[in-house]
Structure 1
């Protein structure tokens, strides 16, 4: 019995190592389950990076493109500056020939007043003419003229009243 009691106080290394082995196994399995999606994502990213590198330009190609782009931009900018310079010159020449709106309004009002004055004078002349020489008088003059022409020709006209 004393031997049994002595053995009880000793650490039981077998059970401890077995428990540690089971724990290490569980940790390895859980770690593997956590690492597997990470590894798959890393592989997918590596594959995508390879595809992107295949579809992209190299540094020299990019520098060549950049130089061409800058040159085209400078050329087009100078062309635009020339076009706008010409346009500005044309606008300036038009502006020098423009008459201010106030002056045009004043001139047009003057024209309107002159037109109204001429129309008033014409109306006065018509009114005076109508009062002096009417339509009946004009018809009588025409009849007399016709009679004189017929008398010269020798054609007898209608009897005179």
Structure 2
């Protein structure tokens, strides 16, 4: 199912994750990690397998892996009925529950084993990300990804987030097998 386009699109069509050319570099967004490892998207899972086999070079911020870890933790607690919704505030009030969660960490270990190139943020990227927020109206984490992409010369992005459609100079590849 095609992903709805952002209303502020720059008229660059989003392509399928399956269209990422072999041998190319691609930045990986947290939602691709989550959908692939949680089994919610075959296309995301296939891309992560391509990264692990070095058919494409997957690039990821440590902060993106941390974002996925956080979301896996919330999903783990909710799936076990320990919180009523995937709400960090509710889980924060239950430190004993957090201590007992294990499944989310297995997914984080799977991320770390994917043969991705993990890169840290630095002051330059933090500063230039402001321009990405100003120009495209991105939220903080998304602007860090785009700023990093520009700094490292990576123009391909794997993401289910339509906000990236507003960013000039990048090619967005998205999973088309997600339910609305």
Normalized against structure 2, the TM-score is what?
0.14
Going by fraction, where is strand more abundant, 1 or 2? Answer: 2
Bigger RCO of structures 1 and 2 (CA < 8 A, at least 6 apart): 2
Going by fraction, where is helix more abundant, 1 or 2? Answer: 1
Q: Which has the larger radius of gyration?
A: 1
